[in-house]
Structure 1
Amino acid sequence: MRIVIMGASGNLGTALLDRIRRDRTDVDVVAVARRIPAAEPPYDTSQWVAVDVTAENTAGRLAGVFRGADAVVNLVWGFQPARDPERLAAVGVGGLTAVLAAAREAAVPHLVHVSSVGAYRAGPTGPAGKERVDESWPTDGIATSVYSRQKAAAERLLDRAELEQTGRDPVITRLRPGLVLQRAAGSSLLRYGAPALLPSWAPALLPVLPVGRSLNVPVVHADDVAAALLAAVDRRAAGPFNLASDPPITGVDIADRLRAWSVDLPPWAIGRAARLAFAARVSRIDAGWIDLAYAVPLLDTTRARELLGWEPGYGSLDALDETVAGVRAADATGSPVLRRRTVLNQLTDRLADGPITRRRVS
């Protein structure tokens, strides 16, 4: 079986390559990324192709890469530069547009796109707090979150593609995972979420964590998303699938793992502080992420369990423990996306290229 993985050097791409390397000798991988990782596990057993999805004629080039593939797995998405939403849309939404066109031209039988819980409308609440939603919950996003709006826009592209399907067009699968965690993302989480001068061990000394007690977020380990991706490809299962482990993660859970005292603040106050920090360029996280965290629904994963035979191998608290350990150790891989973060290379990057919000396009 031949699979093309778009965005193979990222968080989920790394987990998927690792899973295939460990378990699937029957899978031949063509890995596509803007920047090709170092030839070390799990990146050393794939054929790599460098493609920038924002470049001209990307669809035509991808069609040549896709020909003969049994499935294309689309993991392409951008998280930075946060101050340039048009650039992010060109990567995520524009990239999906190119992938859809190329898959049609190359007559690929199956396209698997990784969406997100962030595509959903704000979740319902009941007597006990948030209620779980299945895949029929509206995917029109959270208006104040750039990430959420763009994930919703990608869902509309897939809706349109399904309505226009002919016999030659690919079966479309959408996976909607909760927050994806794994140890190897430790350095990248620090790079995007911490000020440049903050050393990797500093979160361990955080005395208090200002977090509302209403925070209740679905999470899933990256390896479990990889397992669902392979199950979807094997079964050529169409439609959307929620992915999350139990129990949902709370603000108290996060504070406990950081050995910090959780201070219960209302979400609007945390959001206002995030806006001020972002405006002052102290933080690279825009306040839309705070709005999203408090609004996303919890996920009913019955469909994935029944149609994909999927069961998460990691409990949510185990995934959180592993990720916090990865942040403390600044864990990294040979991928440019998951590269090691140090204070020195943070400052060097800023001196060479300016802030992260002004990185080179190519």
Structure 2
Amino acid sequence: MRIAITGASGNVGSAVVDRLLEDGHELVGIVRRPPEDDRLEWRRVDLSEPAQLPELERAVQGADAVVHLAWGFQPSHRIGYLAALGVGGTRRVVGAALRAGVPHLVHQSSVGAYSPRADRQPVTEDHPTEGVPSSPYSRHKVAAERILDRFEDRLTITRMRPGIIGQRRAASGLLRYGVPLLVPGRAVRWAPVLPLPDVVQVPMVHAADVADAIARAVDRRAAGAFNLAAGSLDADEIAEVLGARRVSLPFPVVRAAAAASWRLRLQQVDPGWVDLARNAPPLDVSRATRELEWAPRRTARQVLEEVVDGLVHADSGDTAVLRRRTVPREVGNLLTRGPVSGRTRP
């Protein structure tokens, strides 16, 4: 099959490319900064720009499926840009697929689209998708799903709803977008204590396992939503993996500290992610197991352990998104381009 992939150079995209090439598919990677990788055809498209819709339509022409992975996490202080990329980009991808006559769209949604959990019981795909309103990421994922709702009668649509996705080669990207620039990656193991509230529960899954589910959905042209997770980690387990002693603080205290440090540009992760850690539900993956014959090969703890080890060693990939992060380079970017949380392009 010929498959077009938006965000093909990112965390999930790199794993999806590897898996689909193994399956013998012909791939078109749709990205803003094409890498030097001649295994597939690359098209340069900025999904945040409406003027690039014609180029997007040309990129998906003749495809048997479009896998839409492109999303933005930074700049967190430019919500308009993130909406233009995530929500506007999804609208443009759906429109381009329809006009090009592509029969199947696989959309990367998220656990972030779900409404807050009522308890710690895993939820199935019929759980409400009204999101966590205080999280821009969650609001945008919900808005993207509402776009899909309008076109399900004209296009086979698969919605993947994974937990937090990790892999080793994404470590430098996580450091660049989530850790203050003067902090080296190995510092993630230096903290003797970790202040986390008891309510934290984070579903996780490995990028390669997400790629496996996407490949299975493409082969089956499976429609509907699929939860993807390898389990959830609570606050104590997260502290154990980081080698720190957990200190239980009230959620409002942690949230206020995150919000203040973000507003002061001391760190670049907006407080909506703290709200997601509190409210995101555990995921029941029985539908993916049953209909896609999917099962994760790594546990949630193994995923976090791999990510943390990658952070310590500043592991990286071969694309601009996954490039190696170094403190001197980040300082240079700060001086020439400003903080990552406020750049027009991260």
TM bucket normalised to smaller: over 0.9
1:96-175 paired onto structure 2 within 5 Å: 96-125=90-119, 130-162=120-152, 165=153, 169-175=154-160
Deviations 1:92-138 (A, max 9, x none): 0000000011001000010000000000000121xxxx111110111
TM-score by length of structure 2 reads 0.97
In 1: Cα distance, 2:101 partner to 2:315 partner: 39
In 2: Cα distance, 1:316 partner to 1:360 partner: 34
SS in 2 for 1:245: coil
Give the structure 2 partner of residue 58 of structure 1: 52
CA contact (8 A) 1:29 1:47 kept: yes
In 1: Cα distance, 2:81 partner to 2:56 partner: 20
CA contact (8 A) 1:172 1:239 kept: yes
Give the structure 2 partner of residue 256 of structure 1: 240
Percent identity, please.
46
Give the structure 2 partner of residue 33 of structure 1: 31
In 1: Cα distance, 2:221 partner to 2:53 partner: 23
**Aligned-residue CA RMSD in angstroms?**
1.3
Moved over 3 A (4+): none
In 2: Cα distance, 1:147 partner to 1:361 partner: 17
Give the structure 2 partner of residue 210 of structure 1: 195
1:247-286 paired onto structure 2 within 5 Å: 248-286=232-270
TM-score by length of structure 1 reads 0.93
Q: 1:214 Cα deviation (Å)?
A: 2.0
Give the structure 1 partner of residue 18 of structure 2: 18
SS in 1 for 2:3: strand
Q: 1:213 Cα deviation (Å)?
A: 2.2
In 1: Cα distance, 2:115 partner to 2:50 partner: 33
Q: 1:361 Cα deviation (Å)?
A: 4.5
Deviations 1:59-89 (A, max 9, x none): 3222211111110000011101101111000
In 1: Cα distance, 2:340 partner to 2:300 partner: 31
Deviations 1:181-208 (A, max 9, x none): 1111111111122111111211121111
1:2 aligns with 2:5: no
CA contact (8 A) 1:274 1:286 kept: yes
Which sits farther off after the overlay, 183-192 or 99-108? Answer: 183-192
In 2: Cα distance, 1:176 partner to 1:2 partner: 24
Pairs aligned (count): 346
In 1: Cα distance, 2:16 partner to 2:32 partner: 17
Q: 1:360 Cα deviation (Å)?
A: 4.0
In 2: Cα distance, 1:58 partner to 1:304 partner: 35
1:333 aligns with 2:331: no
Structure 1: gaps (5+ residues): none
In 1: Cα distance, 2:292 partner to 2:139 partner: 28
SS in 2 for 1:201: helix
